[in-house]
Chain A
């Protein structure tokens, strides 16, 4: 059975607001954040209200105002026609990329012609974990799976691989420097949809979590974020039962070398050749392959490696075929470890900074990384990018795209 090609026609993202009550997007309901992304895709591409076959949005905390299938609600709020259905999905941090992959799968199978895939997360209004979940509420599951918070996993990765506090902070500084440079050079310009109020006045047009004045010294002064969790609450003792070669977990991750908590939304327009032609859209890239994989749920953050290996196998490619990498900067050690395992230079990964500088709006990030990778391929003339994210409970998702034209 042969498949069609899934093309990326367009992508947009909101700037990321600080994930606190003082954040610029705190007064924007998540439905509206998502709707602004959906409207922008419609307007930029001259889409009729009923042009799209489905809207797939990732949301990691689908509770309260992010519950009840926000994708359908946002589509209606964006004045998409009632014939456009919507579905909300959740694979934690990679949801935005999984939405893209699920959209691509439908298009490749010939079952849909045009889909908007992305994600939204208002972390300032719907705090992480508000949706509960057996993962950490069911005591027997917590116990049987030796579960520890992700920060403990990040610190354990650093301990196991000898990444010092200095190395983590250096990575974090690079993220800030690269993100600042990318903004200054307008590298995000074509993708950014400034968020406006209902009078059309701009609320935010630039990622505000960024700190261009970051120095190694300012990073060094920050307190370890997970020491108390590890040492007092017992999570270190739990993790060491799975990693008995380790003498003691060093707690070196801080707020400065971990991803930021932010609000944001993103969307990617994915479709087949026929629909694109009919609507007069120019394809910018094609989706070569995608995969998701599982890994150790205690350390939680090592999924990108098996996901990468799986997607390369699916695509019949090797690492040498990849020109550019985007790996979500959940924690500095995640990227340092991936670079070491995959033997990738820092020159080809996260070249425009990442979530340490700009923040990680959980359900949307996967789609944002995809868009950032595509824009960088176009800017640099490179051809193939691999986008991947680590995911809670030990998973990873990866997608390979190939720039066209």
Chain B
């Protein structure tokens, strides 16, 4: 991993953590725009990092779709109102479906739109209409430990991204490249070298690990190894203080390149087959038939379970309970009424008061705040 990659990745991580922390609801105004700017900068850094890993033919389309997916996801996470969260989540889902289609998974792209946007999201909005009183509730305007959560997420993303970058761009020591470039016959060019590391050795000898890209380098013979050793020892920067050098060559050049990488015809016959759904269905209903049956059973169980949860709850609540809060459908805003305010602040009256005991107080409680006048 080159230093540029490391700096770019670290900058993207720190910017993302700060930006997300500022964007998350913190119970006070201000800082959201700054957080959005930092997050956008972080997104740009991630795009640069992704572009440095090689170019895709549909680069602009992929980049735009991915940026929309990630930006909409950030909005969905940070917006205060759950309804807006759901709508941004829908946009993120649409962009993700676009990514699926770009990768040749048309069926799953359509299925994602139908299942999520068509069913789950509508149900979400239904629940929100049912359950959400007007105005932003207290719990939508604060978050648990926003900074810690942002740092956790950013560190996880950083580890995953840096792993991808490191696997794709293994270390290539400049001194080894320079030593091999001194060869007048150019037996091993820089493009063939996948990994070149100079390992420090306490014994005074320098150990060099050289890995050649599969399928590119010439046949490895004893004269070639002797020649490489000669080239490497000739470089004064590489040899240790006593002039000894041990070259460990990890060469996989004789193995042919894996056929599936960048081979259009192999993919066109299988995963990018023109009759996509037919192939997918054939695999699904032949190799995964039992799993399909189990999944169907799971859906049935979930349906029965959901009905059981709600009906059981309702049968338990036949006796009229004191309603703790504003009833469903009552448009009285929780925030603006001072009567409800003290009930919604957890531990506002006394920190030791149990939460549920606070909420079970009768609606007209003696909070000490005069109603008016």
- Are A and B part of the same complex? no
